[in-house]
Amino acid sequence: MKFIRNILNSRSDKDGNFFIAMSKTLGFKPSNLQFYQKAFTHRSMNIRDKIGNPINYERLEFLGDAMLGAVVALHLFKEVPKGNEGYLTKMRSKIVSREHLNELGKELNLINFIESKIPQNSFGDNVHGNLFEALVGAIFLDKGYNQCEKFIFKTVIIPHVDIELLEGKVISYKSLLIEWCQKEKKTFYYEVYEDTGNDYQKHFSVKLSINDKVVAKARATSKKKAEEKASKRAYFVFQKRIDRTQ
């Protein structure tokens, strides 16, 4: 109930502190603080509005993702006039990749604003990117497209978008390795060979075999992450041969 009162009472001490902190993060003063409060409300708070709609950041996350994609797409369209659709799509994916958005969220320390019944150390890395997207969605609703575009340029495009560097950046080592194996007619498979359920946080161990020979192993908190990590290690084993085919 206390959090609901804070949303409704913009003069509360908590709102005042949040307003100051948010202004520093954004570089401008919010007009409607409720958008930003929702951007940092986790579903575990189980808050609903008067007509029963959930109050959390998930819908803002969807909106922010669309705004990021649109602003980045327009920037690439202008900056790379010779780039075809496939090239532009790949470059946009690199800029707004989950990994990159997670890094942006961490840079802004957005996790410190979250309202949740779940301890911060229990969240995975993706929460940082989710909050960043939700924040972009809140800015769009509060200030409109122009201010949203300025924020994306300030936090994403100006400090992080270098076309030449991005051209050589790998989004997914697993996808790159599978593509190479298929092109070279090599067999490959990933196998979970250990699942340590006794750890505080569950881990998976994966080994990657190419032409029936184990070429890399990795361990991570999910099967997907372990496969990506193993693929990255395998890439560096075959890097010269893979790069010749690109």
> What domains lie within the chain, and their CATH numbers?
2-167 (1.10.1520.10), 173-245 (3.30.160.20)
pLDDT of residue 196: 55
Amino acid sitting at position 7? I
What's the CA gap between 172 and 115, in Å, rounded?
32
Average pLDDT of span 24-40? 96
Q: Residue 27: pLDDT band by 50, 70, 90 thresholds?
A: very high
Q: Assign 40 to helix, strand or coil.
A: coil
pLDDT of residue 194: 66
pLDDT at 146 exceeding the cut of 50:
yes
- Per the CB < 8 A criterion, the answer to whether 18 and 35 are in contact is no
pLDDT of residue 71: 98
Joined together, the tokens standing for residue 68 give 């990021």
pLDDT of residue 200: 54
pLDDT of residue 172: 81
- Ranges assigned E (strand) in the chain: 188-196, 203-210, 213-220
Q: Residue 246: pLDDT band by 50, 70, 90 thresholds?
A: low
Q: Which residues are the active-site residues?
A: 65, 133
pLDDT of residue 29: 96
Between residues 77 and 180, the one the model is more confident about: 77
pLDDT at 7 exceeding the cut of 70:
no
Amino acid sitting at position 93? S
Exposure class string for 139-164: b at 16+ Cβ within 10 A, else e = bbbbbeeebbbebbeebbbeeebeee
Q: Assign 41 to helix, strand or coil.
A: strand
Sheet containing 188-196, strands listed edge to edge, beginning at the edge strand earlier in sequence: 188-196, 203-210, 213-220
Model confidence pLDDT, tens digit, residues 154-208: 999 999 998 888 877 777 888 888 988 998 999 999 999 866 555 556 788 999 9
pLDDT of residue 49: 92
- Per the CB < 8 A criterion, the answer to whether 91 and 83 are in contact is yes
Q: How many CB atoms lie within 10 A of CB 101?
A: 24
- Per the CB < 8 A criterion, the answer to whether 129 and 64 are in contact is no
pLDDT at 11 exceeding the cut of 50:
no
N-term to C-term CA, the chain: 57
C-alpha radius of gyration, the chain, whole number: 21
What's the CA gap between 152 and 53, in Å, rounded?
29
Joined together, the tokens standing for residue 139 give 């800015």
Joined together, the tokens standing for residue 100 give 């990159």
| Sequence-distant contacts of 235-241: CB under 8 A, at least 24 apart | 235/170, 235/173, 235/176, 235/177, 238/177, 238/180, 241/180
* Distances, alpha carbon 36 to alpha carbons 41, 191, 207, in Å: 9, 43, 43
Model confidence pLDDT, tens digit, residues 93-112: 889 988 899 999 999 999 99
Q: Flag the least confident range among 29-33, 134-138, 230-234.
A: 230-234
Average pLDDT of span 2-30? 76
Q: Residue 10: pLDDT band by 50, 70, 90 thresholds?
A: very low
What's the CA gap between 48 and 43, in Å, rounded?
10
Mean per-residue pLDDT of the chain: 89
* Distances, alpha carbon 180 to alpha carbons 115, 166, 169, 223, 231, in Å: 44, 20, 16, 21, 12
